[in-house]
Structures are given as C-alpha cells and as structure tokens.
Amino acid sequence: MLDYAALAALSAVVREGSFDRAARSLHVTPSAVSQRIRSLEERVGCALVVRDQPCRPTETGRRLCQHADRVRLLEQALEGTVPALAPEGVARVPLPVAVNADSLATWFAPAVAAFAAEAPVLMDIAIDDQDHTAEWLRSGAVLAAVTASARPAAGCNSQPLGAMRYCAAASPDFVARHFPHGVNAASLARAPSLVFNPKDELQLQWARRLCRRHVELPRHTLPSPQAFVTAAVAGMGWGLQPQALAAQHLEDGSLVELVPGSALNVALYWQQARAASDVLAGLTRRVEAAARKALLPP
C-alpha cells in the first residue's frame, strides 16, 4: 500500500517547486519532506524528483502526483457522503489548474471565483502561455488546464471551449511614428513589439501571417495582461491585445489596429484528468458555461 503522507509530500514539492516551500505548505520540516520522499523512492525503486530550481517530477513522479491529486478529491467526496469520516466538516482540498494569463484576466477568473465560493476547494492556479499549459498536465502538476492544444495529455480528456480574438494594436502616435509607410516586414523589424513572456509567440504568428515569412521582432517583455494594454496605450510598443481588454480603447481611439481586419483567433481547449471527481466535473461545467458566453464559437 502506498504511503499517502509521502505522496502528499511529493505533490507539494512538485507544486511548490522546492522542499522548503513544500514543508511550509504541509506544516512540517524540510527534513521530514525529504525523508518521506526518500522512503517513497526506495519503495518504487527510482527517483521521483529532479532536485533542481525549481524541482520537477520524473515520469514516475508525475504519475504518482496525478494519483495523489485524484485521491485527495475522491477522499473529499467520500467525506461528503459519510459525515462520520469528517466530524469537523469536509476539508478544503487544493485543486491545481493551469490557465493562460489573458483568459484569467477576462472570462476565467469570474468562473473560477463562482465555483470556489460554493465548492470545498482551494484553487491553485498556475499561469503560462496557452501553448504551454498542457505541459503542466503532462508533468502532473495540475489536474486541468486551459490550453491551445487539442490533443489530450495522457490520462486526460480534451474539449473545445471556443476561440479568443486578438487584434494587433498600438497608440495612434506609435503607428504614425513607426509605420508611416504602412505595416510590412521592414517596418515590423524596427518597431518595438510587446510580448507577455519569452514563450509568447502571438506577435510572431501575426507577423508571419501578414508578411508570409518570419520576421524577427524587437520586443519589450511585460508579464501582465493589464500592463500590456496600458503600455500599448502609452506608446511603448505594439502587441496582440485580447479584444475583451482592448475594446474600450479601440472604441475611444487610444488604440488603433495596425492592419484593420487582421484579427488573430486562438482556439482554446479545456483538458482535465479523467475520472478525477465530482468537484472537478463541477469546475468543468463552470468553465464551459463561461467560455460559451465570452469566446467565439469553437
């Protein structure tokens, strides 16, 4: 039989990224976390954690993390139907989810807030580029994710949510200064662009589609959707703005499209671990309902 205290320690190390932070989350000492994981590694006969910065699971560690997350949710569901198992009430359990920042800043946050208000969970939300959130599922760090990948991760289901619309926009002064003769490969190679992080390739995708070839873009990095819009309005650079966040600025003229009618639609999918729990199914229903209202049809 598996040692579930050791599994909890493994999950905490993967989720928190270090033994010290895992120990704080579990209210034990770092040496206790290390001992639990070492005993589990001896039991299964292989390493479970790559002790790096941050720590990450091995393939076997990933599978054990996914199992531990599912067990916590199943135990919670059992406590709800057998009150004697939880005389002080059903405890909230962490529910790890990955989502892209633009979704979180627009339609996802209200959905998850409404869900967390009624479900016995503590949401643990990781932010990454939509092209990379599926990696969090594959690593075992989360149980569900909003992702641009239609192909389900191992042990997961995938369903379309809809498409998020982005428009390449900048301030009128920026456009006049950097694109006086139009938007083309030469002008894009000189004008500063905005990216969310080094993984953000939306601007490159848009430029490639417009120019029909790769264009190396100079870029500022701004890891905040709200700051992304604010910086564009202030004339710092051009970028692919979520229409939901930029609509008011496009309407009042503080932002203008670089090339009218060149919006980029990014398809989003909801991937979740199979047969996890009724709690995860409830989150899925909330996410799907919010996506239907906020996104373009799949």
Span 236-272, pLDDT tens digits: 999 999 999 999 999 999 999 999 999 999 999 999 9
Report the DSSP beta bridge partners of residue 159: 270
Q: How many Cβ atoms from other residues are within 10 Å of residue 78's Cβ? A: 13
Cβ-Cβ contacts under 8 Å for 142 (sequence gap 6 or more): 96, 97, 98, 124, 126, 136
Q: Which domains does the chain have, with CATH numbers?
A: 1-87 (1.10.10.10), 164-265 (3.40.190.10)
Ranking 8-12, 54-58, 73-77, 218-222 by mean pLDDT, the lowest is 73-77
Report the DSSP beta bridge partners of residue 240: 168
Regarding pTM above 0.75, the answer is yes
Mean pLDDT for 38-54 is 92
pLDDT band at 146 (very low <50, low <70, confident <90, very high): very high
